[in-house]
Structure 1
Amino acid sequence: MDVFSDVIATVRAGRAKFTRSRLSGRWGYAFGPYPGAGFHVVLEGNCWLIPPSGSPIALGAGDVVFLPHGAVHGMSDSPDRTIAELPLAPESGPPDHEPAPGQAQLLCGAYRLDRGQAHPFLRTLPEVVHLPARLGDHSALRSAVDLLGADLIEARPGAAAAVPALMDLLLVYLLRAWLEEEASHHGPRGGWCVALTDPVIATALQHIHRAPEHPWTVQELAAEAGMSKTAFARRFTSLVGQSPMAYLTWWRLSSGARMLRDSQAPLSAIARNVGYTSEFAFSNAFKREFGTAPGKFRRQQRDSTDAVASIR
Protein backbone atom coordinates (compact mmCIF):
# COMPACT_ATOMS: atom_id res chain seq x y z
CA MET A 1 0.00 0.00 0.00
CA ASP A 2 1.35 3.45 -0.90
CA VAL A 3 1.42 6.39 1.49
CA PHE A 4 -1.51 8.16 -0.17
CA SER A 5 -3.64 5.03 0.22
CA ASP A 6 -2.76 5.01 3.90
CA VAL A 7 -3.88 8.65 4.12
CA ILE A 8 -7.24 7.68 2.60
CA ALA A 9 -7.55 4.76 5.02
CA THR A 10 -7.52 7.13 7.99
CA VAL A 11 -10.66 8.81 6.62
CA ARG A 12 -12.58 5.64 5.93
CA ALA A 13 -13.54 4.45 9.40
CA GLY A 14 -16.43 2.17 8.56
CA ARG A 15 -18.85 2.80 5.73
CA ALA A 16 -19.66 6.35 4.77
CA LYS A 17 -23.09 7.68 5.69
CA PHE A 18 -24.94 9.32 2.82
CA THR A 19 -28.34 10.58 1.70
CA ARG A 20 -29.75 11.73 -1.63
CA SER A 21 -32.26 14.57 -1.77
CA ARG A 22 -34.29 16.40 -4.41
CA LEU A 23 -34.84 20.03 -3.43
CA SER A 24 -36.83 22.77 -5.09
CA GLY A 25 -38.34 26.16 -4.32
CA ARG A 26 -37.06 27.99 -1.25
CA TRP A 27 -34.87 25.64 0.78
CA GLY A 28 -31.79 25.55 2.96
CA TYR A 29 -30.24 23.34 5.64
CA ALA A 30 -27.30 23.51 8.06
CA PHE A 31 -24.89 20.59 8.41
CA GLY A 32 -22.33 19.72 11.09
CA PRO A 33 -20.33 19.92 13.14
CA TYR A 34 -19.45 16.32 12.38
CA PRO A 35 -16.71 14.18 14.00
CA GLY A 36 -15.17 13.39 10.66
CA ALA A 37 -15.24 14.61 7.08
CA GLY A 38 -18.35 15.70 5.18
CA PHE A 39 -19.02 16.02 1.47
CA HIS A 40 -21.65 17.08 -1.07
CA VAL A 41 -22.05 16.17 -4.72
CA VAL A 42 -24.43 18.19 -6.90
CA LEU A 43 -26.01 15.54 -9.14
CA GLU A 44 -28.21 18.03 -10.99
CA GLY A 45 -29.30 21.66 -10.78
CA ASN A 46 -27.66 24.52 -8.90
CA CYS A 47 -27.35 25.63 -5.29
CA TRP A 48 -25.07 27.48 -2.87
CA LEU A 49 -22.67 26.36 -0.17
CA ILE A 50 -22.69 28.65 2.87
CA PRO A 51 -19.16 28.07 4.26
CA PRO A 52 -18.01 28.45 7.88
CA SER A 53 -16.33 31.69 6.85
CA GLY A 54 -16.09 33.76 3.69
CA SER A 55 -18.50 34.28 0.84
CA PRO A 56 -21.11 31.76 -0.37
CA ILE A 57 -19.90 29.42 -3.12
CA ALA A 58 -22.02 28.79 -6.22
CA LEU A 59 -22.37 25.10 -7.07
CA GLY A 60 -23.52 23.48 -10.28
CA ALA A 61 -24.19 19.99 -11.59
CA GLY A 62 -21.10 17.81 -11.25
CA ASP A 63 -19.48 19.96 -8.56
CA VAL A 64 -17.98 18.22 -5.55
CA VAL A 65 -17.39 19.79 -2.14
CA PHE A 66 -15.34 18.16 0.61
CA LEU A 67 -15.23 19.43 4.21
CA PRO A 68 -12.31 17.48 5.72
CA HIS A 69 -12.78 18.85 9.24
CA GLY A 70 -16.54 18.38 9.51
CA ALA A 71 -17.10 22.13 9.92
CA VAL A 72 -20.57 23.64 10.32
CA HIS A 73 -21.88 24.84 6.93
CA GLY A 74 -25.07 25.34 5.00
CA MET A 75 -26.55 24.33 1.66
CA SER A 76 -29.21 26.57 0.16
CA ASP A 77 -31.04 27.59 -2.98
CA SER A 78 -29.83 31.16 -2.45
CA PRO A 79 -26.68 32.93 -1.21
CA ASP A 80 -28.68 35.35 0.95
CA ARG A 81 -28.94 32.95 3.90
CA THR A 82 -26.72 32.54 6.96
CA ILE A 83 -25.91 29.27 8.67
CA ALA A 84 -27.59 30.49 11.87
CA GLU A 85 -30.98 30.94 10.18
CA LEU A 86 -30.99 27.55 8.43
CA PRO A 87 -32.69 24.56 10.06
CA LEU A 88 -30.42 21.66 10.95
CA ALA A 89 -30.56 18.87 8.38
CA PRO A 90 -32.18 15.76 9.92
CA GLU A 91 -30.15 12.58 10.43
CA SER A 92 -31.86 11.04 7.41
CA GLY A 93 -30.82 14.00 5.26
CA PRO A 94 -32.86 16.85 3.74
CA PRO A 95 -36.37 15.65 2.85
CA ASP A 96 -37.33 15.24 -0.80
CA HIS A 97 -39.39 18.05 -2.30
CA GLU A 98 -42.05 17.69 -4.95
CA PRO A 99 -40.49 17.66 -8.44
CA ALA A 100 -40.35 21.16 -9.85
CA PRO A 101 -38.48 23.12 -12.51
CA GLY A 102 -35.03 24.19 -11.43
CA GLN A 103 -34.74 21.56 -8.71
CA ALA A 104 -31.39 20.54 -7.30
CA GLN A 105 -30.44 16.97 -6.52
CA LEU A 106 -27.73 16.43 -3.92
CA LEU A 107 -25.72 13.58 -2.51
CA CYS A 108 -24.73 14.54 1.05
CA GLY A 109 -22.65 12.39 3.33
CA ALA A 110 -19.84 12.01 5.81
CA TYR A 111 -17.00 9.72 6.86
CA ARG A 112 -16.52 9.14 10.56
CA LEU A 113 -13.00 9.73 11.89
CA ASP A 114 -11.65 8.09 15.02
CA ARG A 115 -10.25 10.71 17.35
CA GLY A 116 -6.52 11.16 16.88
CA GLN A 117 -6.27 8.94 13.79
CA ALA A 118 -6.75 11.47 11.01
CA HIS A 119 -3.57 11.65 8.99
CA PRO A 120 -1.60 14.93 9.33
CA PHE A 121 -2.14 15.52 5.59
CA LEU A 122 -5.87 15.81 6.18
CA ARG A 123 -5.31 18.35 8.95
CA THR A 124 -3.55 20.66 6.48
CA LEU A 125 -6.53 20.78 4.10
CA PRO A 126 -8.65 23.94 4.05
CA GLU A 127 -12.09 23.95 5.67
CA VAL A 128 -13.72 23.63 2.23
CA VAL A 129 -12.29 21.85 -0.81
CA HIS A 130 -14.39 22.80 -3.87
CA LEU A 131 -13.81 21.06 -7.19
CA PRO A 132 -16.11 22.48 -9.87
CA ALA A 133 -17.09 20.21 -12.73
CA ARG A 134 -15.55 22.70 -15.17
CA LEU A 135 -12.17 22.76 -13.40
CA GLY A 136 -9.30 20.91 -15.02
CA ASP A 137 -9.24 17.50 -16.65
CA HIS A 138 -10.20 15.27 -13.75
CA SER A 139 -11.84 12.55 -15.82
CA ALA A 140 -11.69 9.93 -13.05
CA LEU A 141 -13.46 12.22 -10.57
CA ARG A 142 -16.08 13.14 -13.15
CA SER A 143 -16.63 9.45 -13.95
CA ALA A 144 -17.15 8.64 -10.27
CA VAL A 145 -19.69 11.48 -9.99
CA ASP A 146 -21.50 10.29 -13.13
CA LEU A 147 -21.64 6.69 -11.92
CA LEU A 148 -22.94 7.78 -8.52
CA GLY A 149 -25.60 9.88 -10.17
CA ALA A 150 -26.70 7.03 -12.41
CA ASP A 151 -27.06 4.57 -9.52
CA LEU A 152 -28.81 7.05 -7.23
CA ILE A 153 -31.16 8.68 -9.70
CA GLU A 154 -32.31 5.48 -11.39
CA ALA A 155 -32.08 3.15 -8.33
CA ARG A 156 -30.45 0.39 -10.35
CA PRO A 157 -30.18 -3.20 -9.07
CA GLY A 158 -27.13 -3.63 -6.85
CA ALA A 159 -26.98 0.07 -5.95
CA ALA A 160 -26.75 -0.73 -2.23
CA ALA A 161 -23.41 -2.45 -2.90
CA ALA A 162 -22.18 -0.14 -5.65
CA VAL A 163 -22.80 3.24 -4.01
CA PRO A 164 -20.52 2.79 -0.94
CA ALA A 165 -17.71 1.54 -3.22
CA LEU A 166 -18.22 4.47 -5.59
CA MET A 167 -18.12 6.88 -2.66
CA ASP A 168 -14.76 5.47 -1.62
CA LEU A 169 -13.54 6.03 -5.18
CA LEU A 170 -14.97 9.54 -5.09
CA LEU A 171 -12.89 10.31 -2.01
CA VAL A 172 -9.70 9.01 -3.62
CA TYR A 173 -10.25 10.94 -6.84
CA LEU A 174 -11.29 14.08 -5.00
CA LEU A 175 -8.10 14.24 -2.95
CA ARG A 176 -5.98 13.37 -5.99
CA ALA A 177 -7.63 16.17 -7.95
CA TRP A 178 -7.06 18.65 -5.12
CA LEU A 179 -3.37 17.73 -4.98
CA GLU A 180 -3.08 18.19 -8.75
CA GLU A 181 -4.80 21.57 -8.63
CA GLU A 182 -2.57 22.74 -5.79
CA ALA A 183 0.55 21.69 -7.68
CA SER A 184 -0.51 23.22 -10.99
CA HIS A 185 -1.80 26.56 -9.64
CA HIS A 186 0.39 27.20 -6.63
CA GLY A 187 3.59 25.30 -7.35
CA PRO A 188 5.69 23.54 -4.71
CA ARG A 189 4.66 25.58 -1.68
CA GLY A 190 5.85 22.91 0.72
CA GLY A 191 4.03 20.79 3.24
CA TRP A 192 2.28 17.50 2.53
CA CYS A 193 1.49 18.41 -1.07
CA VAL A 194 5.21 18.19 -1.71
CA ALA A 195 6.00 15.47 0.84
CA LEU A 196 3.75 12.94 -0.90
CA THR A 197 5.52 13.44 -4.23
CA ASP A 198 9.04 14.45 -3.17
CA PRO A 199 11.29 11.50 -4.14
CA VAL A 200 13.39 11.77 -0.98
CA ILE A 201 10.66 12.21 1.62
CA ALA A 202 8.21 9.91 -0.15
CA THR A 203 10.83 7.16 -0.03
CA ALA A 204 11.27 7.58 3.71
CA LEU A 205 7.50 7.66 4.26
CA GLN A 206 7.06 4.48 2.26
CA HIS A 207 9.65 2.68 4.40
CA ILE A 208 7.91 3.82 7.59
CA HIS A 209 4.46 2.83 6.33
CA ARG A 210 5.53 -0.53 4.92
CA ALA A 211 7.52 -1.65 7.96
CA PRO A 212 6.51 0.22 11.14
CA GLU A 213 7.84 -2.71 13.16
CA HIS A 214 11.40 -2.07 11.96
CA PRO A 215 13.66 -0.27 14.49
CA TRP A 216 14.17 2.73 12.23
CA THR A 217 16.68 5.45 13.07
CA VAL A 218 17.06 8.84 11.43
CA GLN A 219 20.44 7.73 10.10
CA GLU A 220 18.95 4.62 8.46
CA LEU A 221 16.02 6.51 6.92
CA ALA A 222 18.42 9.16 5.61
CA ALA A 223 20.59 6.46 4.04
CA GLU A 224 17.55 4.87 2.37
CA ALA A 225 16.63 8.30 0.99
CA GLY A 226 20.18 9.00 -0.17
CA MET A 227 20.79 12.06 2.00
CA SER A 228 22.93 13.03 4.95
CA LYS A 229 21.28 12.63 8.35
CA THR A 230 21.15 16.38 9.05
CA ALA A 231 19.83 17.41 5.64
CA PHE A 232 17.25 14.62 5.64
CA ALA A 233 15.96 15.45 9.13
CA ARG A 234 15.67 19.12 8.23
CA ARG A 235 13.79 18.45 4.97
CA PHE A 236 11.51 15.81 6.49
CA THR A 237 10.51 18.07 9.38
CA SER A 238 9.97 21.05 7.08
CA LEU A 239 7.58 19.18 4.76
CA VAL A 240 5.87 16.74 7.11
CA GLY A 241 5.61 19.07 10.09
CA GLN A 242 7.05 16.45 12.46
CA SER A 243 10.51 15.03 12.96
CA PRO A 244 11.11 11.57 11.43
CA MET A 245 10.95 9.86 14.83
CA ALA A 246 7.82 11.74 15.91
CA TYR A 247 6.06 10.77 12.68
CA LEU A 248 7.23 7.15 13.06
CA THR A 249 5.74 7.03 16.56
CA TRP A 250 2.47 8.55 15.35
CA TRP A 251 2.19 6.08 12.48
CA ARG A 252 2.94 3.10 14.71
CA LEU A 253 0.24 4.08 17.21
CA SER A 254 -2.33 4.92 14.51
CA SER A 255 -1.65 1.57 12.85
CA GLY A 256 -2.06 -0.10 16.24
CA ALA A 257 -5.39 1.67 16.75
CA ARG A 258 -6.70 0.38 13.41
CA MET A 259 -5.60 -3.15 14.31
CA LEU A 260 -7.42 -2.87 17.64
CA ARG A 261 -10.53 -1.68 15.83
CA ASP A 262 -10.48 -4.08 12.88
CA SER A 263 -9.01 -7.32 14.28
CA GLN A 264 -9.15 -9.66 17.24
CA ALA A 265 -5.35 -9.96 17.44
CA PRO A 266 -4.00 -10.04 21.01
CA LEU A 267 -2.41 -6.87 22.33
CA SER A 268 1.03 -8.48 22.45
CA ALA A 269 0.88 -9.32 18.72
CA ILE A 270 -0.26 -5.82 17.81
CA ALA A 271 2.55 -4.34 19.87
CA ARG A 272 5.12 -6.42 17.97
CA ASN A 273 3.57 -5.64 14.60
CA VAL A 274 3.93 -1.90 15.12
CA GLY A 275 7.45 -1.92 16.53
CA TYR A 276 7.11 -2.14 20.31
CA THR A 277 9.19 -4.64 22.25
CA SER A 278 6.52 -5.24 24.87
CA GLU A 279 2.80 -4.93 25.46
CA PHE A 280 3.58 -2.62 28.39
CA ALA A 281 5.60 -0.19 26.24
CA PHE A 282 2.89 -0.12 23.58
CA SER A 283 0.12 0.43 26.15
CA ASN A 284 1.93 3.37 27.73
CA ALA A 285 2.63 5.04 24.38
CA PHE A 286 -0.93 4.38 23.19
CA LYS A 287 -2.44 5.95 26.29
CA ARG A 288 -0.29 9.06 25.86
CA GLU A 289 -1.51 9.44 22.26
CA PHE A 290 -5.19 8.49 22.59
CA GLY A 291 -5.89 9.23 26.24
CA THR A 292 -7.15 5.71 26.92
CA ALA A 293 -5.71 2.22 27.33
CA PRO A 294 -5.69 -0.10 24.26
CA GLY A 295 -8.13 -2.57 25.80
CA LYS A 296 -10.65 0.14 26.63
CA PHE A 297 -10.20 1.67 23.17
CA ARG A 298 -11.02 -1.70 21.57
CA ARG A 299 -14.14 -2.15 23.71
CA GLN A 300 -15.32 1.37 22.85
CA GLN A 301 -14.83 0.71 19.14
CA ARG A 302 -16.72 -2.59 19.37
CA ASP A 303 -19.58 -0.97 21.29
CA SER A 304 -19.76 1.84 18.74
CA THR A 305 -19.92 -0.67 15.86
CA ASP A 306 -22.62 -2.73 17.63
CA ALA A 307 -24.67 0.43 18.24
CA VAL A 308 -24.55 1.38 14.55
CA ALA A 309 -25.48 -2.17 13.54
CA SER A 310 -28.49 -2.18 15.88
CA ILE A 311 -29.75 1.08 14.38
CA ARG A 312 -29.58 -0.42 10.90
Structure 2
Amino acid sequence: MLAAFVIVFREVIEAGLVVGVVLAATRGLVDRGRFIAGGILAGFLGACGVAFFAGAIADLFEGSGQETLNAGVLLVAVAMLIWHNAWMASHGRELAQSLKAVGEEVKAGRKSLMALAIVCAVAVLREGSEVVLFLYGVAAAGQTTASSIIVGGLIGIAGGAVISALLYLGLIAIPLRYLFGVLSALITLLAAGLAAQAMRFLAQGGWLANWVTPLWNTSGILSEQSIPGRIAHVLFGYASQPSASELLAYGMVIVIMLVIRRIVAEGRGHQPQGARISA
Protein backbone atom coordinates (compact mmCIF):
# COMPACT_ATOMS: atom_id res chain seq x y z
CA MET A 1 0.00 0.00 0.00
CA LEU A 2 2.84 2.42 0.80
CA ALA A 3 4.46 1.90 -2.60
CA ALA A 4 1.16 2.58 -4.36
CA PHE A 5 0.66 5.67 -2.21
CA VAL A 6 4.12 7.08 -2.99
CA ILE A 7 3.77 6.46 -6.73
CA VAL A 8 0.24 7.82 -7.09
CA PHE A 9 0.89 10.72 -4.70
CA ARG A 10 3.86 11.90 -6.72
CA GLU A 11 2.21 11.53 -10.11
CA VAL A 12 -0.98 13.29 -8.98
CA ILE A 13 1.08 16.19 -7.64
CA GLU A 14 2.97 16.48 -10.93
CA ALA A 15 -0.21 16.41 -13.01
CA GLY A 16 -1.80 18.78 -10.50
CA LEU A 17 1.09 21.20 -10.82
CA VAL A 18 0.62 21.32 -14.60
CA VAL A 19 -3.12 21.92 -14.29
CA GLY A 20 -2.58 24.41 -11.45
CA VAL A 21 -0.08 26.48 -13.42
CA VAL A 22 -2.40 26.54 -16.44
CA LEU A 23 -5.32 27.60 -14.23
CA ALA A 24 -3.27 30.31 -12.54
CA ALA A 25 -1.95 31.66 -15.84
CA THR A 26 -5.44 31.88 -17.39
CA ARG A 27 -7.39 33.17 -14.39
CA GLY A 28 -10.43 35.14 -15.57
CA LEU A 29 -10.39 33.70 -19.09
CA VAL A 30 -13.88 32.75 -20.31
CA ASP A 31 -14.50 29.01 -20.92
CA ARG A 32 -11.06 28.01 -19.66
CA GLY A 33 -12.61 25.58 -17.16
CA ARG A 34 -14.49 23.70 -19.85
CA PHE A 35 -11.44 23.19 -22.04
CA ILE A 36 -9.14 22.32 -19.16
CA ALA A 37 -11.67 19.82 -17.78
CA GLY A 38 -11.99 18.30 -21.24
CA GLY A 39 -8.23 17.91 -21.47
CA ILE A 40 -8.09 16.25 -18.05
CA LEU A 41 -10.87 13.86 -19.05
CA ALA A 42 -9.14 12.99 -22.33
CA GLY A 43 -5.88 12.25 -20.54
CA PHE A 44 -7.68 10.12 -17.96
CA LEU A 45 -9.44 8.07 -20.66
CA GLY A 46 -6.12 7.60 -22.44
CA ALA A 47 -4.52 6.28 -19.25
CA CYS A 48 -7.46 3.90 -18.82
CA GLY A 49 -6.77 2.62 -22.33
CA VAL A 50 -3.15 1.98 -21.37
CA ALA A 51 -4.35 0.04 -18.33
CA PHE A 52 -6.72 -2.03 -20.45
CA PHE A 53 -4.07 -3.07 -22.95
CA ALA A 54 -1.55 -3.75 -20.16
CA GLY A 55 -3.94 -6.38 -18.78
CA ALA A 56 -4.55 -7.88 -22.22
CA ILE A 57 -0.84 -8.25 -22.81
CA ALA A 58 -0.41 -9.87 -19.44
CA ASP A 59 -3.08 -12.48 -20.31
CA LEU A 60 -1.05 -13.55 -23.35
CA PHE A 61 1.80 -14.63 -21.10
CA GLU A 62 -0.17 -16.68 -18.61
CA GLY A 63 1.58 -19.94 -17.78
CA SER A 64 5.24 -20.66 -18.25
CA GLY A 65 6.02 -17.21 -19.59
CA GLN A 66 4.54 -15.32 -16.65
CA GLU A 67 7.88 -14.96 -14.88
CA THR A 68 9.43 -13.54 -18.06
CA LEU A 69 6.59 -11.07 -18.48
CA ASN A 70 6.81 -9.99 -14.85
CA ALA A 71 10.56 -9.48 -15.10
CA GLY A 72 10.17 -7.52 -18.32
CA VAL A 73 7.51 -5.27 -16.85
CA LEU A 74 9.60 -4.66 -13.75
CA LEU A 75 12.66 -3.75 -15.81
CA VAL A 76 10.65 -1.39 -18.00
CA ALA A 77 9.22 0.19 -14.86
CA VAL A 78 12.74 0.61 -13.46
CA ALA A 79 13.91 2.23 -16.70
CA MET A 80 10.96 4.61 -16.67
CA LEU A 81 11.54 5.49 -13.02
CA ILE A 82 15.18 6.28 -13.78
CA TRP A 83 14.23 8.41 -16.78
CA HIS A 84 11.42 10.04 -14.83
CA ASN A 85 13.65 11.15 -11.97
CA ALA A 86 16.32 12.36 -14.38
CA TRP A 87 13.83 14.35 -16.46
CA MET A 88 12.21 15.99 -13.44
CA ALA A 89 15.60 16.84 -11.92
CA SER A 90 16.66 18.44 -15.20
CA HIS A 91 13.45 20.10 -16.39
CA GLY A 92 11.29 20.61 -13.32
CA ARG A 93 11.98 24.34 -13.10
CA GLU A 94 11.69 24.97 -16.84
CA LEU A 95 8.36 23.09 -16.90
CA ALA A 96 6.54 25.69 -14.81
CA GLN A 97 7.94 28.58 -16.84
CA SER A 98 6.96 27.05 -20.21
CA LEU A 99 3.43 26.32 -19.00
CA LYS A 100 3.02 29.88 -17.78
CA ALA A 101 4.09 31.05 -21.25
CA VAL A 102 1.40 28.91 -22.87
CA GLY A 103 -1.24 30.40 -20.60
CA GLU A 104 -0.11 33.95 -21.34
CA GLU A 105 -0.23 33.33 -25.09
CA VAL A 106 -3.78 32.03 -24.79
CA LYS A 107 -4.83 35.10 -22.84
CA ALA A 108 -3.22 37.33 -25.47
CA GLY A 109 -5.07 35.53 -28.25
CA ARG A 110 -1.96 34.02 -29.83
CA LYS A 111 -3.08 30.47 -28.99
CA SER A 112 -6.55 28.94 -28.84
CA LEU A 113 -8.11 27.43 -25.74
CA MET A 114 -7.50 24.04 -27.31
CA ALA A 115 -3.83 24.51 -26.41
CA LEU A 116 -4.80 24.45 -22.74
CA ALA A 117 -6.79 21.26 -23.24
CA ILE A 118 -3.85 19.61 -25.03
CA VAL A 119 -1.36 20.62 -22.33
CA CYS A 120 -3.59 19.22 -19.58
CA ALA A 121 -4.45 16.07 -21.56
CA VAL A 122 -0.80 15.26 -22.23
CA ALA A 123 0.12 15.86 -18.58
CA VAL A 124 -2.65 13.62 -17.23
CA LEU A 125 -2.02 10.96 -19.88
CA ARG A 126 1.71 10.87 -19.16
CA GLU A 127 1.35 10.70 -15.39
CA GLY A 128 -1.59 8.27 -15.60
CA SER A 129 0.31 5.94 -17.92
CA GLU A 130 3.29 5.96 -15.56
CA VAL A 131 0.99 5.12 -12.66
CA VAL A 132 -0.42 2.14 -14.61
CA LEU A 133 3.00 0.73 -15.42
CA PHE A 134 4.52 1.38 -12.01
CA LEU A 135 1.60 -0.14 -10.12
CA TYR A 136 1.60 -3.18 -12.38
CA GLY A 137 5.27 -3.57 -11.57
CA VAL A 138 4.53 -3.38 -7.86
CA ALA A 139 1.76 -5.97 -8.25
CA ALA A 140 4.02 -8.24 -10.29
CA ALA A 141 6.67 -8.08 -7.57
CA GLY A 142 4.23 -9.79 -5.20
CA GLN A 143 3.92 -9.46 -1.42
CA THR A 144 0.94 -7.13 -1.85
CA THR A 145 -2.73 -7.42 -2.70
CA ALA A 146 -5.04 -5.70 -5.14
CA SER A 147 -6.99 -4.17 -2.28
CA SER A 148 -3.80 -2.72 -0.77
CA ILE A 149 -2.84 -1.18 -4.11
CA ILE A 150 -6.34 0.27 -4.53
CA VAL A 151 -6.36 1.72 -1.00
CA GLY A 152 -2.85 3.13 -1.36
CA GLY A 153 -3.73 4.55 -4.77
CA LEU A 154 -6.91 6.20 -3.50
CA ILE A 155 -5.06 7.72 -0.54
CA GLY A 156 -2.35 8.90 -2.94
CA ILE A 157 -4.96 10.51 -5.21
CA ALA A 158 -6.61 12.25 -2.27
CA GLY A 159 -3.32 13.41 -0.79
CA GLY A 160 -1.92 14.58 -4.11
CA ALA A 161 -5.14 16.43 -4.95
CA VAL A 162 -5.15 18.20 -1.57
CA ILE A 163 -1.49 19.22 -1.85
CA SER A 164 -1.99 20.41 -5.45
CA ALA A 165 -5.05 22.43 -4.46
CA LEU A 166 -3.27 24.00 -1.51
CA LEU A 167 -0.27 24.87 -3.65
CA TYR A 168 -2.55 26.45 -6.24
CA LEU A 169 -4.47 28.47 -3.67
CA GLY A 170 -1.28 29.63 -2.02
CA LEU A 171 -2.31 28.34 1.39
CA ILE A 172 0.96 26.56 1.95
CA ALA A 173 4.52 27.24 0.84
CA ILE A 174 6.39 24.01 0.26
CA PRO A 175 9.63 24.37 -1.74
CA LEU A 176 9.02 21.86 -4.50
CA ARG A 177 12.67 20.88 -4.65
CA TYR A 178 12.41 19.57 -1.08
CA LEU A 179 9.06 17.85 -1.64
CA PHE A 180 10.24 16.08 -4.76
CA GLY A 181 13.61 15.38 -3.20
CA VAL A 182 12.04 13.21 -0.52
CA LEU A 183 9.78 11.48 -3.02
CA SER A 184 12.72 10.96 -5.41
CA ALA A 185 14.63 9.18 -2.65
CA LEU A 186 11.68 6.86 -2.04
CA ILE A 187 11.27 6.28 -5.78
CA THR A 188 14.99 5.43 -6.05
CA LEU A 189 14.68 2.75 -3.38
CA LEU A 190 11.47 1.47 -4.95
CA ALA A 191 13.15 1.21 -8.37
CA ALA A 192 16.10 -0.62 -6.85
CA GLY A 193 13.72 -3.08 -5.18
CA LEU A 194 11.86 -3.68 -8.46
CA ALA A 195 15.15 -4.36 -10.24
CA ALA A 196 16.12 -6.91 -7.60
CA GLN A 197 12.70 -8.56 -7.88
CA ALA A 198 13.13 -8.74 -11.66
CA MET A 199 16.32 -10.73 -11.15
CA ARG A 200 14.37 -13.16 -8.98
CA PHE A 201 11.75 -13.62 -11.69
CA LEU A 202 14.44 -14.16 -14.32
CA ALA A 203 16.03 -16.81 -12.11
CA GLN A 204 12.65 -18.53 -11.63
CA GLY A 205 12.11 -18.48 -15.39
CA GLY A 206 15.45 -20.15 -16.05
CA TRP A 207 17.12 -17.10 -17.57
CA LEU A 208 19.82 -16.85 -14.90
CA ALA A 209 22.09 -19.79 -14.14
CA ASN A 210 24.63 -18.05 -11.92
CA TRP A 211 24.46 -15.79 -8.87
CA VAL A 212 21.06 -17.14 -7.87
CA THR A 213 21.93 -18.85 -4.59
CA PRO A 214 20.74 -16.93 -1.49
CA LEU A 215 23.64 -15.28 0.30
CA TRP A 216 21.97 -15.17 3.72
CA ASN A 217 18.65 -15.67 5.47
CA THR A 218 17.26 -13.00 7.80
CA SER A 219 13.76 -14.48 8.07
CA GLY A 220 14.30 -15.04 11.76
CA ILE A 221 15.00 -11.32 12.26
CA LEU A 222 12.52 -9.80 9.79
CA SER A 223 10.21 -12.11 7.89
CA GLU A 224 8.84 -10.97 4.54
CA GLN A 225 5.46 -12.33 5.66
CA SER A 226 5.27 -9.96 8.64
CA ILE A 227 3.75 -6.51 8.36
CA PRO A 228 7.08 -4.68 8.80
CA GLY A 229 8.70 -7.12 6.38
CA ARG A 230 6.02 -6.53 3.74
CA ILE A 231 6.37 -2.78 4.13
CA ALA A 232 10.14 -3.01 3.76
CA HIS A 233 9.79 -5.36 0.77
CA VAL A 234 7.32 -3.25 -1.15
CA LEU A 235 8.84 0.13 -0.36
CA PHE A 236 12.56 -0.62 -0.15
CA GLY A 237 12.91 -3.99 -1.92
CA TYR A 238 13.85 -5.89 1.25
CA ALA A 239 14.46 -9.61 0.74
CA SER A 240 15.21 -12.03 3.55
CA GLN A 241 17.14 -14.36 1.20
CA PRO A 242 18.73 -12.20 -1.49
CA SER A 243 20.99 -13.58 -4.18
CA ALA A 244 24.09 -11.92 -5.61
CA SER A 245 22.24 -10.99 -8.80
CA GLU A 246 19.49 -9.27 -6.80
CA LEU A 247 21.99 -7.30 -4.72
CA LEU A 248 23.93 -6.32 -7.84
CA ALA A 249 20.77 -5.06 -9.58
CA TYR A 250 19.69 -3.20 -6.45
CA GLY A 251 23.03 -1.47 -6.05
CA MET A 252 23.38 -0.64 -9.75
CA VAL A 253 20.04 1.15 -9.86
CA ILE A 254 20.91 3.27 -6.82
CA VAL A 255 24.30 4.16 -8.30
CA ILE A 256 22.73 5.06 -11.66
CA MET A 257 20.15 7.28 -9.96
CA LEU A 258 22.81 9.05 -7.87
CA VAL A 259 25.14 9.54 -10.84
CA ILE A 260 22.35 11.02 -12.96
CA ARG A 261 21.32 13.43 -10.23
CA ARG A 262 24.98 14.43 -9.72
CA ILE A 263 25.39 15.09 -13.45
CA VAL A 264 22.20 17.17 -13.53
CA ALA A 265 23.29 19.14 -10.46
CA GLU A 266 26.72 19.85 -11.96
CA GLY A 267 25.08 20.91 -15.21
CA ARG A 268 22.97 23.44 -13.34
CA GLY A 269 25.99 24.65 -11.45
CA HIS A 270 27.76 25.48 -14.72
CA GLN A 271 24.83 27.42 -16.15
CA PRO A 272 25.40 31.14 -16.58
CA GLN A 273 23.80 33.12 -13.78
CA GLY A 274 21.36 34.81 -16.13
CA ALA A 275 20.23 31.51 -17.59
CA ARG A 276 19.05 30.03 -14.29
CA ILE A 277 15.40 29.95 -13.42
CA SER A 278 14.39 30.60 -9.85
CA ALA A 279 12.27 27.97 -8.13
Q: TM-score over 0.5 for the alignment?
A: no
Of structures 1 and 2, the one with the larger relative CO (CA 8 A, separation 6+) is 2
Q: Which one has a larger percent helix, Structure 1 or Structure 2?
A: 2
Flag the structure with higher strand content.
1
TM-score of the two chains, using structure 1 as the length reference? 0.30
Please, what TM-score do these two structures have when normalized by structure 2?
0.33
